[in-house]
Amino acid sequence: MTGPLLGTFAPNTGRWVICAKSPYTGIWGEANCGSFFGAEVKKAGYDGLIITGASDKPVYLEINDDKAEIKDADFLWGKGTYETTEKLKEIFGDKKAYVACIGQAGENLVKFANVISEERAAGRTGMGTIMGSKKLKAIIVKGSNTKVDVANPDKLKEAINISRESVKNAFITTLMNDLGTSSGVDMYNAQGELPIKYWTQSNWDGAFDISGSTMTEKMLVGKRFCHSCVIGCGRKIAIKEGKYQTEECEGPEYETIAGYGSMLLNDNLESIAHLNKKCNDYGIDTISSSSVIACIFYHYDLGNIKVEDIDGLKPEWGNIDVAEELLEKIIYRQGIGDLLADGSDAIAKKFNISQDEIATVNGLEVTYHDLRSCYGMAIAYGIGPRGPSHNACDTYMVLMGLPFQEIGIQNIDKFLDNKEMAEVCALNQDYRAFYSSMIMCSFSNPPPSQNAALIENTTGLTFGIKEVKLYGERILNMKRMFNIKMGLTSADDRLPDILLRPFDDGGAAGRTPNFEQLKKLFYEYRDWDPNTGKPNESKLKSLGLDKL
């Protein structure tokens, strides 16, 4: 699906979203992506594409304005996303067409396969696995209509100019443009936010070597902007010589750097860039894949997994060659890779490891902002609409001072696990649920009233702060009800102990949130039943969702 603002050039609204029941978690699945694919879908005349059923053989979908055809993709099956994209554009006869496709991971039904579009990823919850199950290798689209019908063109133009200036003048925009999403690595390491050695180490001397500033110094050759973006956090890199030599390609984002860097104690940035490119080509989520691999390293180190269990490999900390070999095995479901392709929880089950020693919630690997450094991330990970996600409740970033006071989010102490934090997290979740529907990049944060003006003047809806809050809470509760229908209960809102043990040193020394207390207060604020986890009837009625 595209968002209501896509095509208007409102700042950073060029993203698009894939939604389905996740084949990985069994609950709500959602992944959004940058690039220009969504804008091209809009230009072809569609607000979105609904894909049902499955093919007996590989196919791709070709859309050229109002003409849509399903075509044979046998010749593409088994190929990576780079070659698939190149060949489809060549056959279509227009390099300005845009492609979203899966790689070998999606074909082999790796549970955390993703969808890649022009080197950008719709990364989480296994949306590439869904496409693979349908034998849908790719979608290529070209549109010719550049005009988007809006309710109030003149007022919208004014609202866009105001919001673009807000984003351009924000400190985070300068930071992201200069150093990319990995700009915070050094700060995260100092604060105890960087996940290290599979969540078991408080700080690490190798952090600077994989930071955004090091990438800028050693391999950056350009910056990348998605459609309607005014930030440019994307990195274009090249490695001129050595083992990992590569021509210009997409550079690794922060989550990939943490996953294939600090989580494995690997301080070789070139190797991380190499694995990032490989993951993009294979079409696999870098967060889940790196976490699954780090889980193997950790439990091998503890003695819970033996050499003979993992095809004779010795996953010792920092050995990135073994990590790469494990990745290859996952992609093709070879040897131990067949187990790992089903995720970290499959490791726990196979080797009789306690779920408290596995960094997952609802079957999904936790993203890479340590909750011991910001207690609000306990809610983000423990009670997320699609499982643990830093984007669905980015309290670590909001409490750095984002301008959300208009919707009641106050800049409180990040080490609170009280009613104030529960309320901030609920409001933040609602706002990011609104964002995921609007669809605006979460690095772009004009004041909520400016976003309301964008919606009002695009759609003609009466839209102010009241509606921003109402729509966000409604969306969040709809996703919650979907999850309840899929079998989610209050007991599934949990955190494993490995994320909660306080460290003796580092930026978050001695700190850990009281999750059960936060959960209780969060449920109370949300008006959810503490025993079932369901929104109460009164809450659903107030949101106009009582039919659910």
Segment 39-81, tens digit of pLDDT: 999 999 999 999 999 999 999 999 999 999 999 999 999 999 9
* CATH fold of the domain at 180-352: 1.10.569
Q: pLDDT-derived band of residue 181, with 50, 70 and 90 as boundaries?
A: very high
> How many Å apart are CA 161 and CA 163, to the nearest integer?
6
Q: What is the 3-state secondary structure (H, E, C) of 399-426?
A: CCCCCCHHHCCCCCCCCCCCHHHHHHHH
CB under 8 Å to 157, separation ≥6 — which residues?
Answer: none
Paired residues of 273 in beta bridges: none
Cα Rg of the chain, angstroms: 22
Question: What is the tens place of the pLDDT at every residue in 479-527?
Answer: 999 999 999 999 999 999 999 999 999 999 999 999 999 999 999 999 9
> How many Å apart are CA 64 and CA 142, to the nearest integer?
5
Question: What is the tens place of the pLDDT at every residue in 249-258?
Answer: 999 999 999 9
pLDDT at 401: 83
> How many Å apart are CA 170 and CA 95, to the nearest integer?
35
pLDDT at 90: 97
* Secondary structure (DSSP) of 218-245: HTEEEEE--TT-SS--EEEEEE-SSTT-
User: What separation in angstroms does the CA of 309 have from each of 111, 203, 306, 314, 336?
Assistant: 21, 30, 5, 10, 8
N-terminal to C-terminal alpha carbon distance within the chain: 23
pLDDT at 521: 98
Q: What is the mean pLDDT of the chain?
A: 96
Q: Which residue has the tokens 């408290």?
A: 356
Q: Which amino acid is at 108?
A: N
Would you kindly state where each structural domain of the chain is located, as residue ranges? 16-142, 180-352, 371-542
Cis peptide upstream of residue 196 (ω within 30 degrees of 0): no
Instruction: Look up residue 238 and give its two tokens.
Output: 């090249």
371-542 shares the fold of 16-142:
no
pLDDT at 473: 98
Q: Is it true that domain 16-142 has CATH number 1.10.645.10?
A: no
Q: Which of 505, 263, 266 is nearest to 372 (CA)?
A: 505
Instruction: Look up residue 32 and give its two tokens.
Output: 């959004």
Q: pLDDT-derived band of residue 358, with 50, 70 and 90 as boundaries?
A: very high
Question: What is the tens place of the pLDDT at every residue in 390-438?
Answer: 999 999 999 988 879 999 999 999 999 999 999 999 999 999 999 999 9
Tell me the helices (H) and strands (E) count for the chain, helix number first. 21, 13
pLDDT at 402: 80
Q: What is the CATH number of domain 371-542?
A: 1.10.599.10
pLDDT at 192: 97
Q: pLDDT-derived band of residue 470, with 50, 70 and 90 as boundaries?
A: very high
Percent of the chain with pLDDT over 90: 98
Q: Which of 417, 421, 373, 378 is nearest to 184 (CA)?
A: 373
Residue 508: Cβ within 10 Å count: 22
Question: What is the tens place of the pLDDT at every residue in 139-151?
Answer: 999 999 988 999 9
Tell me the torsion sign for CA atoms 179, 183, 186, 187: positive
pLDDT at 146: 87
